A and B are shown apart, each in its own frame.
Chain A
Amino acid sequence: MVQFNWFHVGFLLQAAQWTVLLSLLAFVGGGVFGLAVALCRISRYPLLRWMTTAYIQLVQGTPLLVLLFLAYFGLSIMGFQLAPLAAAGISLTIYSAAFLGEIWRGCIQAVPRTQWEAAECLGLNRFEQLLRVILPQAVRIAVPPTVGFMVQIVKNTSLASVIGFVELSRAGNLVNNSTFQPFIVFTTVALFYFCLCYPLSVASRRLERRLNAVRN
């Protein structure tokens, strides 16, 4: 029987690149839609607020695994035969947008009301108020939790393995199928994830301390 060796580690390393790519895809997609969700949540139109609230409640109330199955198996009935990467990218985007949207809404609302009022007194319209006064301040508050959420995204890409996308976890399964040494294989996989996530966790904590120090 084949023993777990450096060739397998190289294979896992290659698969880790797909994990990184999928994470980036989810973060960019989730970031774009998440910003839209955050803005809709603070909109003056009740319908927009109501719709995005429903979206957030629904996504945060269902497991990502089920979203993945829905995107992968479910969308195929409409005639789309989605590649695993596309299905994983779409469901991770939907998932991240709901969480990032809610995080960022909190950050925007953490900027004191008086800032809006002061900007209004300067004759800025609502869009300018948001873009030039509120968002630059909200970004400061938003950076640490956003970096923290990136850890969640990286970890959640592991679920893409169940629809056959060969990223780190799936590669671990494949290696395990040929070596039958699950303990060492999955510990190595876990170590790879740790190396991806831990720097982000540390960065999030550092940023939080530093940006808070500036604010106080």
Chain B
Amino acid sequence: MNYTFDFLAVLASWDRLLAGAWLTIKLSTMAMALGFVLGTLCATGRLSGIAWLRTLVGAYVETIRNTPLLVQVFIVYFGLASMGFKLSAEMSALITLVINIGAYTTEIMRAGILSIHRGQIEAAECLAMSKTQIFLHVVLLPAVERVYPALSSQFVLLMLASSITSQISVEELTAAANLVQSETFRSFEVYGVIALLYFALSMLFRAGFWLIGQLAFTRRRKLGTAL
């Protein structure tokens, strides 16, 4: 093998890679926040007494979880545009990511809500808490606490999956790398560098989730113990 590695050619366009990484962070953070809201709403819908709502949410979850994100991105970006809804690439990416992570969050949150013991809710009723209060303080918060590890690793996977949006010309980290690659022809160096950047980003997100967990769930207890 006579190949001389040239990382300097890649590092020369560090500003582009940094801009790409920043867009990846923005895109995935927004998708996580909106997807969490969507998923929580859908989870309550799926556990509600309304039959058609349960079926609808079930169909949504199954459709999204059994088709690739790449195809979902294409349908939203190219498909909707052909029907007259012209969205920018970033907007399409965000919408697809929210719809995608929403389906996974629904399943995770459903498991969390189901893990809340019936007695907890009855106890809260005895304390004369309102329905909203019960849902927020007795059901939702402990449910999130219980599924928090699963939720945060799903969110990190979403951040990694956001690389797929480079295929519809969203200028995030992978797209920036493709651009640098086509200018410098240093493919191994470029993709090696962004692999490490993504690794650093996933560490960053994990640290962030750990911190949020520390702040949001102040009661200290071991996983798997009764709530």
Interface residues of A (CB under 8 A from B): 57-58, 60-67, 69-70, 73-79, 151, 155-156, 158-159, 161-162, 169, 172-173, 176, 180-183, 186-187, 189-190, 193-194, 197-198, 201
Contact = CB atoms under 8 A, between A and B. Distances in A.
Given A65-B174, A74-B187, A182-B79, A158 B3 contact: no
Interface string B186-216: 0110011011001100110000000000000
A29 B83 CA distance: 42
Contacts of A65: 163-164, 166, 174
Given A73-B191, A183-B75, 12 more contacts: A62-B199, A62-B202, A63-B163, A63-B174, A74-B188, A75-B188, A169-B71, A172-B71, A182-B82, A183-B82, A183-B83, A193-B68
Interface of B: 1, 3, 62-63, 65-72, 74-75, 78-83, 156, 160-161, 163-164, 166-167, 174, 177-178, 181, 187-188, 191-192, 194-195, 198-199, 202-203
Nearest to A199: B66
Nearest to A183: B79
Of listed B3, B191, B203, residue having the most chain A CB within 10 A:
B191
B204 to A, nearest CB: 10
25 contacts: A57-B199, A61-B202, A62-B198, A62-B202, A66-B163, A66-B177, A66-B195, A69-B178, A70-B188, A73-B181, A74-B188, A75-B188, A155-B66, A155-B69, A158-B69, A180-B82, A182-B75, A183-B80, A186-B71, A186-B75, A187-B79, A189-B74, A190-B63, A193-B68, A194-B67
